[in-house]
Amino acid sequence: MASFGTLVEPGTVRLERTLPGPVDRIWAYLTEPEKRARWLAGGEIQLHVGGRVDLWFKHADLSPIGVPTPERFAASADDASLRGSVTACDPPHLLAFTWGEGEARPSEVTFELEAVGEQVRLTITHRRLGDQRSVWANVSGGWHTHLAILEDRLHGRVPQPFFAAFERIEARYGELLG
């Protein structure tokens, strides 16, 4: 299993993965809707500061293996969306945007790409998550699971169903974060 993310300060989680490069390939999986939809969410990201972010999550479509959606996610399984605004964009190395605009204080996610030989280090930092450990576990588990799907896609493997993996990973983060 890939390494777990860390709580770098209260309300901020960070995950790192080393992926097969080059950097432009990974940038495309972050920014091109049809590629991003294969591991995270489809929708448009306007690649300039202040640009609009519209993400549409279809978790059941992330793997060809069909499993039932857990009851707690059933209401939003086919209609989960997120809006935000780009806060930083330096192609192909940095992308940051608010996560959950419309909330009192949206969080912010940052993607950093760094070439490491023929591979790429992807660092995801999700900030302003509040002070609830259950939220930290949920967000960390979500990113961990989405990154596992991205890794499978990049290596030409069939990814596991999102929710089947997520529930196990979220529980493990809950244990790690106390």
Residues 113/124, Cβ–Cβ less than 8 Å: no
Q: How many CB atoms lie within 10 A of CB 161?
A: 19
* 84-132 per-position pLDDT tens digit: 999 999 999 999 999 987 777 899 999 999 999 999 999 999 999 988 8
Residues 145/151, Cβ–Cβ less than 8 Å: no
Residues 115/21, Cβ–Cβ less than 8 Å: yes
**Cis check: omega of the bond before 22, within 30 degrees of 0:** yes
Whether 71 shows a pLDDT value over 70: the answer reads yes
Domains present along the chain, CATH in parentheses? 6-177 (3.30.530.20)
pTM: 0.93
Tokens linked to 159: 């990814």
When pLDDT is cut at 50, 70 and 90, the band that residue 74 belongs to is confident
Give me the helices (H) in 22-132, please: 23-31, 33-36
